[in-house]
Amino acid sequence: MSSKIKWRKPKQIRNDVIATAKATGHTLQFWNALMVGDHLTLITIMDDDEGCHMINSIYDTSNAEEWKDYRFNYRGLRLWSLTYEQELTTPLHIAAGRGFSECLRHLLQRGADVELSPAGSTALHEACENGHAECAKLLLSYGASANAVSEEGLMPLHMCTSPASLECAKYLLQFGATVNGRSLEEDNTPLHVAAQHGLPGHTELYLRYGAALDRRNDEGSTPLNAACSRPQEAEDLGRYHDVCRMLLAAGADVHTGDQDNQLPLHMACKNVNPDTVDLLLRHGASVNTMCYAGDAPMHNVLKAVAYKATHQPERIVRALLNHGSIRVWPGALPKVLKYCCDSPRTIEVLLNAYDRLKITDTWVENVPPDVFQTHRGFYESLFSLAQGPRSLQHLARCKLRLVLGARVPSAVPKLGLPTFLQNYLLLEFRDYVH
């Protein structure tokens, strides 16, 4: 049987199944207890003759701030709202979504229906989305389906998108969740979701349960592509690197491109994740493959420098050049200078791949005065090259690098040179050019 989820449209019910009424004091007390997790008050109300009917009530919370006028359905039917204004929920959803495990326990003990999904998702989806593991475990132990499909075509595992949801994912798998189940719209597996959100713990867990490394989603991306392509803040770079490390150790292919033929290296360069780029290069990633848009990894990182200078893009440019990347056409260097001038080390390592430079007034004009003043020492050394050739030491470096080509990273350490010369050959940063 295919692991792809087959979505079924929720059953349509006539609008008149929702009873509209002014909330009584009893129902308001029940609602307030739910919202704050007061399980003792809930027990008192639910054990009352009237309160027992509220356990499977369906509430419309689209205007929940107006506490004295909300709609509820005592009949507890599975509903399909025809109007987008409605936001339907149940006591079970509220308790699970807010992590009120004691309230949830008492609702379940009194017969709350774990499969109710008035807004298109079950209470288990809510618990997993918000990372409430104890609630997820309770729902599963009372018969909630670990493979329930929401109206959006998502299983509970697809809702595990935060580090806090790791325990939820463990319980789901223990209760039979399908580790390779596909989402409806994006065709993602749980491993895709973990990769997209940079979740090393989830990634390790799914791999241990046999998650497929080569499954592609609707964009043609494998989990490794997905991990590299997700936009990443500086504080998240380490998490995404860890995910990629686990995927590669499990056998993920660095040469698989998405529907635009963008390889993991293309996207790691675009998102400026230096450690991930180094990792991919160690696993044999190609530095000169072009995507269908005609961009090589070098183009991707240079386009991102202006937005992610704090991500150390110079490290990526250096690594790509050391592994034999194509260089920028010399006539385009002034344009690169204009957009990358806030990262002088990127400019430094890029220009050190050339044995000669034709520096003109345009170069000077492309560096704003405030940037020039901030990095005055570097730019003075660069613009002084307009009056003379590069140093003999630099020319010797260029010649040796030309001979070694893409073997530079592996060959230079074997030359028996002093460490400072090895670093010089590998384009170590000096914050000036000569």
For the chain, the structural domain boundaries read 1-214
3-state class (DSSP) for residue 24? coil
- According to CATH, the superfamily of the domain at 1-214 is Ankyrin repeat-containing domain (1.25.40.20)
Instruction: Check pLDDT > 50 for residue 77.
Output: no
Name the pLDDT band for 134 (thresholds 50, 70, 90): very high
How far is 198 from 315, CA to CA, in rounded Å?
21
If you count DSSP H runs as helices and E runs as strands, how many of each does the chain have, helices first? 23, 3
Of residues 82 and 364, more confidence is placed in 364
Q: What is the mean predicted confidence (pLDDT) over 262-271?
A: 98
Of residues 14 and 389, more confidence is placed in 389
The predicted pLDDT at position 281 comes to 98
Closest-CA residue to 324 (of 296, 364, 305, 303): 296
53-57, 132-136, 247-251, 290-294: the lowest-pLDDT one? 53-57
3-state class (DSSP) for residue 115? coil
Q: Give the H or E element holding residue 353.
A: none
User: Helices 344-351 & 313-322, crossing angle to 10 degrees?
Assistant: 10
CA distance between the termini of the chain: 65
> Which amino acid would we find at residue 322?
N
**Cα–Cα separations (whole angstroms), residue 97 to 127, 133, 278, 354:** 5, 11, 40, 59
The answer to whether 105 touches 141, Cβ cutoff 8 Å, is no
Cα atoms found within 13 Å of the Cα of residue 140, Cβ hemisphere only: 24
CA dihedral 275, 276, 278, 284 (to 10 degrees): 170
71-73, strands of its sheet edge to edge: 71-73, 58-60, 88-89
Q: What is the mean predicted confidence (pLDDT) over 112-127?
A: 94
The predicted pLDDT at position 381 comes to 96
* pTM, 2 dp: 0.86
The predicted pLDDT at position 82 comes to 43
Closest-CA residue to 368 (of 346, 342, 334, 389): 342
4-18, 212-226, 230-244, 310-324: the lowest-pLDDT one? 4-18
The predicted pLDDT at position 5 comes to 39
Of residues 39 and 143, more confidence is placed in 143
Closest-CA residue to 351 (of 361, 363, 365): 363
The predicted pLDDT at position 22 comes to 38
Instruction: Measure CA 244 to chain center.
Output: 12
Of residues 72 and 427, more confidence is placed in 427
How far is 393 from 351, CA to CA, in rounded Å?
15
Q: Give the H or E element holding residue 98.
A: helix 91-98
DSSP 8-state assignment for residue 4: B
For residue range 334-391, what is the model confidence (pLDDT) as tens digits? 999 999 999 999 999 999 999 999 999 999 999 999 999 999 999 999 999 998 889 9
Q: What is the mean predicted confidence (pLDDT) over 409-420?
A: 95
The predicted pLDDT at position 431 comes to 97
The alpha-carbon radius of gyration of the chain (Å, integer) is 29
> Which amino acid would we find at residue 104?
L
For residue range 27-57, what is the model confidence (pLDDT) as tens digits? 777 777 888 888 887 787 777 756 566 787 7
Question: Which residue reads 């039917």 in tokens?
Answer: 77
